[in-house]
Amino acid sequence: MTKNNYYVSAKKDNLDLGMVIEAENPYMAAVKMSSLLWNEFSFDEVTVTDVELVGM
């Protein structure tokens, strides 16, 4: 399965977050971002607000 780049936007309290994630589909991109934020910054309860495909 090919991987695409997705721009994932999220919100944690009053903090807006966004990053490009390489994943198979938008759902996996959202999960990867949530996992990364938890593992690296101990951010829990992050709400993903948008996932957009970045140019192909």
pLDDT for the residue 44:
84
| Total of domains in the chain | 1
pLDDT for the residue 32:
96
pLDDT for the residue 25:
96
3-state SS string over the chain?
CCCEEEEEEEEECCEEEEEEEEECCHHHHHHHHHHHHHHHHCCCCCEEEEEEECCC
pLDDT for the residue 56:
65
Report how far residue 15's alpha carbon sits from residue 4's, in angstroms, rounded to the nearest whole number. 26
Domain carrying residue 40: 4-53
CATH number, domain of 40, equals 3.10.20
- Taking only the tens of pLDDT, the chain with its 56 residues reads 789 999 999 999 999 999 999 999 999 999 999 999 999 999 888 999 999 999 86
